[in-house]
């Protein structure tokens, strides 16, 4: 039986264009709520569905395998259950790779893909200035395993991360990933499942879809200027794509969390590309 992920809608119920919004690893749909609300104000025809990918947020209990392909199957199940026919998909980081992989199956009605700071293939690099590079995700997961549970309150999450050398912003982010239980606060994650998802992410190459998208699907990839996830060979390969169905754009003065840091600028850039 297909796994049905949790989803929350943003925008008017009378909106005519359904949009799936997919978050990054160790996040949840709520991470993109402010961005989605702003986009719905500027484009009231959009109804944005904030998905909690499997093993994240309120989408717990998914059966293995925990892969990019499984996330795509979850989207199929969600669309069937909600009778959605998304015209757009917006994906950040991990969610961006899920979005591209799902677009490769040519789901009915899909017209536009927005990929936010999500390179096409696995990579290794130094830690970003904001402490958020992909190789640092493994450090975060290791830290999640180290912190004794339960915690007395959410503030203890921040302290547990800063004591281990992370910036306070990482600790604040991780407070969204604890839930109150009878004995205190505990992680919502199945950490083994998260590990499996990360392995699949790094092993999945979406270049074939970007270089040869299904007919009728436009793919706009938005690179954050301060993100260190884009080595020169990747930029050169984008520049060599021989068609305009896939295009790479730059969002100036933005780090990996571009939808948080530069919400208005991101919405303006997307609007200019319509």
pLDDT digits (tens, 9 = 90+) for 147-172: 999 999 988 999 999 998 888 878 88
Class in CATH terms, 7-122+194-272:
alpha beta
Weakest-pLDDT range from 19-28, 121-130, 145-154, 255-264: 121-130
Long-range contacts made by residues 267-274, C-beta under 8 angstroms, separation at least 24? Answer: 267/35, 267/38, 267/39, 267/42, 269/222, 270/39, 270/114, 270/220, 270/222, 271/42, 271/43, 273/220, 273/247, 273/249
- Using the predicted structure, report yes or no on whether residue 23 has a pLDDT greater than 80: yes
How many angstroms from the chain centroid is the CA of residue 170? 16
124 token code pair: 């290794």
- pLDDT tens string 195-248: 999 999 999 999 999 999 999 999 999 999 998 889 999 999 999 999 999 999
Distance CA 79, CA 131 (A): 35
Angle at 123 between CA 169 and CA 71, to 5 degrees: 75
How many angstroms from the chain centroid is the CA of residue 22? 5
244 token code pair: 């305009």
75 token code pair: 């989207």
- Using the predicted structure, report yes or no on whether residue 21 has a pLDDT greater than 50: yes
Task: Please state the pTM of the whole predicted model.
Answer: 0.91
Could you tell me which residues come within 8 angstroms of residue 58 by beta carbon, excluding any fewer than 6 positions away? 6, 28, 52
> In this predicted structure, what is the pLDDT of residue 237?
96
Work out whether the CA dihedral 214, 94, 5, 62 comes out positive or negative.
positive
In whole numbers, what is the pLDDT of the chain averaged over residues?
A: 91
> In this predicted structure, what is the pLDDT of residue 122?
63
Which DSSP state fits 213? Answer: P
Weakest-pLDDT range from 104-108, 132-136, 176-180: 132-136
> In this predicted structure, what is the pLDDT of residue 123?
55
Residue-range domain boundaries for the chain: 7-122+194-272, 134-191
Q: 224 with 258: CB under 8 angstroms?
A: yes
Distance CA 37, CA 43 (A): 10
Distance CA 230, CA 242 (A): 20
Distance CA 145, CA 72 (A): 28
Distance CA 119, CA 93 (A): 8
List 249's β-bridge partners, or say none.
Answer: 222
Distance CA 255, CA 226 (A): 5
CA R_g for the chain: 18
The larger pLDDT score, comparing residue 189 to residue 217, is at: 217
């Amino acid at each position: 039986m297909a796994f049905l992920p949790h989803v929350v809608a943003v925008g008017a119920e009378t909106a005519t264009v359904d949009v799936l919004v997919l978050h990054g690893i160790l996040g949840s749909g709520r991470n993109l709520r402010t961005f989605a609300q702003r986009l719905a104000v500027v484009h009231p025809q959009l109804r944005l569905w904030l998905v909690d990918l499997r093993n994240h947020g309120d989408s717990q209990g998914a059966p293995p395998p925990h892969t990019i392909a499984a996330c795509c199957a979850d989207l199929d199940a969600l669309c069937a259950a909600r009778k959605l026919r998304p015209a757009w998909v917006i994906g950040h980081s991990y969610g961006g790779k899920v979005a591209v992989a799902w677009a490769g199956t040519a789901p009915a009605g899909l017209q536009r893909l927005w990929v936010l700071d999500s390179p096409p293939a696995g990579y290794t690099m130094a830690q970003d200035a904001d402490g958020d590079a992909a190789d640092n995700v493994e450090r975060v997961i290791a830290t999640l395993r180290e912190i004794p549970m339960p915690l007395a309150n959410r503030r203890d999450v921040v302290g547990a991360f800063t004591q281990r050398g992370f910036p306070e912003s990482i600790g604040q982010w991780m407070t969204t990933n604890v839930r109150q239980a009878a004995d205190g606060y505990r992680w919502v994650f199945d950490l083994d499942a998260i590990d499996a998802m990360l392995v699949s992410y790094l092993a999945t190459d979406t270049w074939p879809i970007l270089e040869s998208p299904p007919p009728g699907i436009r793919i706009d990839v938005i690179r954050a200027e301060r993100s260190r996830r884009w080595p020169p060979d990747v930029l050169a390969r984008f520049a060599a794509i021989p068609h305009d169905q896939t295009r790479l754009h730059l969002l100036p003065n933005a780090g990996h969390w571009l939808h948080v840091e530069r919400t208005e600028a991101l919405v303006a850039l997307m609007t200019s590309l319509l």
